[in-house]
Chain A
Amino acid sequence: MHQTVAPLAGSSATTRYVETIATRVAIVLALALLAVVAFVIDILVGSGTLSLPDVINALISPDSAEPSARFIVWELRMPMTLMAMLTGISLALAGLLMQTILDNPLAEPFTLGVSSAAGFGASLSLGLGFSLTGLFPALPPELSTATNAFAFALFAALLVLALSRGGASVQSITLLGIALHFVFSSLLSLIQYLASVDQLESIVFWLMGSLQRATWLKVSITGAACMIFIPLVLLNAWSLTALRSFGAQAAVLGVNVKRLRMVMLVVSAMLAGLVTAVVGIIGFIGLVAPHVARLLVGEDHRFSIAATAAVGAVFAVVASIATKVVVPGAVLPLGMVTSLTGLPFFIILVLRNIKGEGL
């Protein structure tokens, strides 16, 4: 994939560098195109019985379409597909950022305890009927579970940050995150133990992760968060590459390592926390997408950020298509599908790593 020996004597290093950049831009564009194609397919094969022409008609001219078709396409399918895309983008980026700032190829939203904290927050609302929205009556009730999940996800990340006080080594941050993960998992089990059968069912279903909870309101909130955070991440692309390449010594290049780590930790927790709050726990995207992206475009974050977002989007949307077509007539939970399809990738990754260590 990468050239490890200098090819083609004669062409200057700059020419080759410029060519590499052009190739990478092309790969990122191709990935984005793939995401768009997956997006369209996902809407076409959505749940409910609609013929293809009906869907296309409802998409192109909503006003002339039948109200039922319009409703299915615009109120059911569109938010779900958009949410799938946002989920993929956010989790993948959160994974990339965590892998970079924690210098750990296996870091992902789970690593900081973000996902299990979100699960605990959701179960508080689903199992015990306690929600933070009670404190903020202005929030609509459809957000009560999501608000809880998000608040606890953010709380977990801030706790890690506070405990490490910005000065801790990346190893101790990782360990703190794993410790939090176990704490919240145990608390979650406790609530499941206390819950009634009905409540238990809704908690378990929540934990599996599903796009059916997507609404336009939730899509707008997560979409807005992406629009704020993605530019912020892109702005730090060079610095992130420096951090990944030189670790703490990136400071010698003028990078404020401590601040960069802190800001990106919060950004990744917000991204992962928001989508987890909406769709539940979705495994493997955050872990796998950054690795696939780096395989395709290399370590330069100017490309790997965009590529990771695109790979995450493709992964999540294709998984969303799979949830609808694998078992006819039923929609599987998204989290189940991503975990099942992500697993082979993960194993390949680990095997590659073992080979890479070069025995």
Chain B
Amino acid sequence: MTRLSLSDFHVSIGRRHVVDTIGFDLKGGSIMAVLGPNGAGKSTFMKGLCGLRRARGTVRLDDVDLQALSAAERASLIGYVAQDTTHLSVRLTVFELLMLAQNGDRRAWKAAPESTRRAEEMLALLGLERFAGTMPSVLSGGERQMIALALALVRRPKLLLLDEPTSALDLANQLHMLEVVQDYTRRNAIITIAVLHDLNLATRYADACLLLARGRQVATGVTKEILSAAQIADLYRVECRSVDVDQGRFSAIYPISVLSDGVGHR
């Protein structure tokens, strides 16, 4: 069973510590939502995990310390979807990008065996077959986000990092994407960490939550226990009500108003 445990994890940009002393445990097959106000350090935390930013501390995935691995070994375990997908503007088709995602650091001329099969599987899994020969630059922002997820999943990561994966998606695609992610996470017993701004998606899909404010870990734990109206009010400085939907099958969080010490006082 896969297991991820972070302790005393720091990420810095230049000399500045942007994210400090994060620590938690997650077991395979679970999804963690990272929540917090703009500028809290959520993206920086994710970049620290996947090696795009300098990080300190221990990150154990099963028995390996990710920090001790070479960049290439570590990359082979991680799939990452950035917050901004506009960089997907190169003149390669989606299928070519899926091949590239699996062979990016390859020395041989030929793609690794199985690459084409996995690329097709991924297109089918996400229902993106019609885009195989399309260039992402001509797709919509939401379509590009789906492609970006495909590019991360096709690498068969053990740790999947998604930075606001649903920010550009319509209602149906938000659910579709997170269903796919949840299903994939459970079935392959991997660990998914997703930055989400939509609290209701978090309550619905996340098993655990990590709340960040000003680069610090405010709280972490099981979603049901953590995501109370009071905790949200505290984190975002917004007054909220917790509402049960569908006879308590889902719990929703409804924002009422910004508290007087809200915006500008974080």
Contacts and interface: CB of A to CB of B under 8 A. Distances in A.
A41 interface: no
A33 to B, nearest CB: 20
Give the residue among A5, A244, A251, A298 with the most B Cβ atoms within 10 A.
Answer: A251
A13 B104 contact: no
Given A2-B91, A2-B93, A252-B52, A16 B75 contact: no
Interface stretch (A195-203, A206-214, A231-239, A275-283): A231-239
Contacts of A248: 52
A246 B100 CA distance: 10
Give the residue among A13, A249, A252 with the most B Cβ atoms within 10 A.
Answer: A252
A2 B80 CA distance: 28
Contacts of B119: 13-14
Contact of B135 (A4, A239, A250, A294): A4
Interface in B76-101: 76, 78, 80, 82, 87-88, 90-93, 95-97, 99-101
Contact of B120 (A12, A254, A298): A12
Given A256-B72, A299-B91, A238 B133 contact: no
B69 to A, nearest CB: 11
- Interface size bracket, B side: 35 or more
Contacts of A3: 93, 133
B78 A13 contact: no
A13 B52 contact: no
Nearest to A238: B106
B93 A254 contact: no
Main SS of the interface on chain A? helix
Interface in B101-128: 101, 103-107, 109, 116-117, 119-120, 123
Interface residues of A, number: 38
Contact of A250 (B95, B104, B134): B104
Interface string B150-177: 0000010000000000000000000000
A164 interface: no
Contacts of A6: 130-134
Given A4-B138, A252-B78, A254-B72, A244 B104 contact: no
A255 B104 contact: yes
A170 to B, nearest CB: 13
B129 A13 contact: yes
A136 interface: no
B145 to A, nearest CB: 15
B92 A299 contact: yes
Interface string A246-269: 111111111110000000000000
Contact of A238 (B104, B132, B135): B104
A300 interface: yes
A239 B72 CA distance: 12
A226 interface: no
A250 B121 CA distance: 23
A241 B91 CA distance: 11
Given A5-B134, A6-B134, A253-B75, A238 B105 contact: yes
B212 interface: no
Give the residue among A18, A247, A253, A298 with the most B Cβ atoms within 10 A.
Answer: A253
B117 A14 contact: yes
Interface string A148-161: 00000000000000
Interface string A294-329: 100011101000000000000000000000000000
B76 A254 contact: yes
A198 to B, nearest CB: 51
B134 A300 contact: no
A5 B133 contact: yes
A252 B51 contact: yes
Contact of A252 (B80, B92, B120, B131): B80
A249 B86 CA distance: 12
B243 interface: no
Contacts of B133: 3-7, 13, 16
Nearest to B111: A238
A302 B109 contact: yes
A4 B135 CA distance: 6
B104 A17 contact: no
Contacts of A12: 120
Given A253-B75, A299-B90, A241 B100 contact: yes
B147 interface: no
Nearest to B84: A249
Given A237-B109, A247-B87, A252-B50, A13 B120 contact: yes
Interface string B54-76: 00000000000000000111011
Contacts of A13: 95, 116, 119-120, 123, 129, 132-133
A293 to B, nearest CB: 13
11 contacts: A2-B135, A7-B133, A234-B109, A239-B104, A241-B100, A248-B52, A251-B71, A253-B105, A255-B104, A298-B96, A300-B92
Interface of B: 50-52, 71-73, 75-76, 78, 80, 82, 87-88, 90-93, 95-97, 99-101, 103-107, 109, 116-117, 119-120, 123, 129-135, 138, 155
Given A14-B116, A17-B95, A252-B51, 15 more contacts: A3-B133, A4-B138, A13-B129, A17-B96, A18-B116, A237-B109, A238-B103, A239-B106, A241-B92, A245-B90, A245-B92, A248-B52, A252-B50, A253-B101, A255-B104
The 9 closest A-B pairs by CB, nearest first: A253-B104, A254-B75, A13-B132, A254-B105, A242-B104, A254-B72, A245-B90, A6-B133, A14-B116
